[in-house]
Structure 1
Amino acid sequence: MRRLRCAAALLAAAPVLTGCGIQETDVVQAGGPATIQVFPQSSTGMVLFFRSPDGELLPVIRSLEGEFEDPQSPGASTGETLSVLFAGPAERDRAAGLTTGLPELPPGATLRAAPSDRSGVEVTLPIALGRLDDTALRQLVCTTAFSEDPEGLTPVHLRGTDGPLEQANCDADIDLGVQPRPTARPS
């Protein structure tokens, strides 16, 4: 009975509380959303892809330090970028729940990236690729693609100790916002 009286009192007070003498207005436009560049220039940062808590790929920006801080620097090579990827998520990335599907590299291992004789880039890795799951392979492909091209459109050919894989393109659903899209390149 007490609940019924409280509910009735609230219903009776509702018209009084909602009026309050404030006049209705139309929607006021204040401009579009702010835009920022999410992906770094090749000479100021690198884009690495890690596994999010829900199992999807998530790009992480790493600022370049030391010799790469010079604006005239060409930036980190694809091999150097992949070495950072294999080192795994940084402490702040792990705190956010990011993980990797990649193994540790053997001591003294080198990663090589060179233009492919077909198209894109070929990356030679000192690990067996057949043991990696789909997300780990996508980490490699997307990190390589964005290391080679700010739009991540470079075709990637991975070659491991167990042989080559078919050419792949980065399929991560990355929202580049209003970033310019490349035009068709002449053949």
Structure 2
Amino acid sequence: MRGVRALGALLPLALLATGCGIRATDVVEVGGPAIVEVAPGREQSTLLYFVSSSSANRLMPVVRPIEMPSEGASAGGSGVEWFRGPGRAVSQLFEGPNKSEVASGLRTELPYARVDLNIDLGPDGVLVRLNTAVTTLSEVARQQLICTAAQARTADRGEAVKVVGTDGVIGPARCSV
């Protein structure tokens, strides 16, 4: 009986020693995390850049649906085209994340503001004119603005963006995302 107990106690050790037939392998490098390009349909949505609360000031692209005005409604800017264009994207950015985006852990570094703006594409890149101060914005807030304006105006985050505000100019700078 004593021999059976000793054998019972040694059996798990023997199984551990053999490793159940699983051989050791070297570490396999698989690279960094996947990168997904997000390109909204130009007619129904726009792309905004907000800050992830779970990651140290990392910008996250957010596809936001555009609510189109009814026929004949005055939208400000250039009418219905303004709702589809870059002006609407930057205006929505200054309005901040909506409830579902906040619930998803997104925030903004930009001050909440109803801005009057103009966005042009010139030979040197995108030019954004705002009726608010810009030189005191944090680097993260600047990147939110630069990435959103570049994507909205040219669909190319690599385009240089220059922002002119009431207190000076930032840029030209490129989106770092």
Could you tell me the TM-score, scaled by structure 2's length?
0.69
Alignment size in residue pairs: 146
In the alignment, is the contact (CA less than 8 A) between 2:132 and 2:166 conserved in 1? Answer: yes
The 1-side partners of 2:134 and 2:37 are apart by 33
* Among 53, 62, 66, the residue aligned to 1:60: 62
Which amino acid is 1:148 matched to? R
1:140 aligns with 2:148: no
Displacement after TM superposition at 1:52 (Å) = 1.2
In the alignment, is the contact (CA less than 8 A) between 1:155 and 1:169 conserved in 2? Answer: yes
In the alignment, is the contact (CA less than 8 A) between 2:46 and 2:66 conserved in 1? Answer: yes
The structure with the largest strand share of the pair is 2
Could you tell me the TM-score, scaled by structure 1's length?
0.66
* Among 106, 113, 122, the residue aligned to 2:119: 113
CA RMSD of aligned residues (A): 3.1
1:40 corresponds in structure 2 to 40
Displacement after TM superposition at 1:43 (Å) = 2.1
The higher radius of gyration belongs to 2
The 1-side partners of 2:37 and 2:125 are apart by 25
CA, structure 1 residues 6+155, in 2 after alignment: closer, same or farther (shift >3 Å)? farther
Displacement after TM superposition at 1:9 (Å) = 4.1
Deviations 1:134-164 (A, max 9, x none): 0000000000011012232322110010022
Which amino acid is 1:92 matched to? S
Displacement after TM superposition at 1:58 (Å) = 1.1
Displacement after TM superposition at 1:110 (Å) = 1.3
> Identity of aligned pairs, percent?
32
Which amino acid is 1:111 matched to? L
In the alignment, is the contact (CA less than 8 A) between 1:42 and 1:150 conserved in 2? Answer: no
In the alignment, is the contact (CA less than 8 A) between 1:46 and 1:61 conserved in 2? Answer: yes
Provide the secondary structure at the position in 2 that maps to 1:166.
strand
Runs of 4+ in 1 over 6 A off after TM superposition: none
Structure 1 segment 73-112 matched on structure 2, within 5 A: 76-106=84-114, 109-112=115-118
1:32 corresponds in structure 2 to none
The 2-side partners of 1:163 and 1:16 are apart by 71
